[in-house]
A = this chain, B = another copy of it.
Amino acid sequence: MDDDTANEILDGTYRALCKHGYAELTLQDIADETDKSKASIHYYYDTKEDLFTAFLEFLYGRYTDKVTGVTGASPQARLLSLLDVLLADGEDGPDTEFRTAMLEIRAQGPYNDGIREQLTKFDEFLYEELHSIIEAGIEREEFNEHVDPDLAAEFLTTMISGAHTRRVAVDYSMDRLHETVRAYVEQHLSPEPLEVSC
Contact = CB atoms under 8 A, between A and B. Distances in A.
A198 interface: yes
Q: How many copies, total?
A: 2
A126 to B, nearest CB: 11
A146 interface: yes
Interface in A167-198: 168-172, 176-177, 180-181, 183-184, 187-188, 194-196, 198
8 contacts: A106-B165, A106-B169, A109-B171, A123-B169, A146-B195, A158-B162, A165-B165, A196-B198
Q: Is the interface of A mostly helix, strand, loop or mixed?
A: helix
B103 A166 contact: no
A141 interface: no
Interface size class of A (residues with CB under 8 A): 35 or more
Interface string A64-105: 000000000000000000000000000000001100110110
A6 interface: no
Given A104-B107, A188-B188, A196-B194, A165 B161 contact: yes
Interface of A: 21, 23, 96-97, 100-101, 103-104, 106-107, 109-111, 116, 119-120, 123, 146, 151, 154-155, 157-166, 168-172, 176-177, 180-181, 183-184, 187-188, 194-196, 198
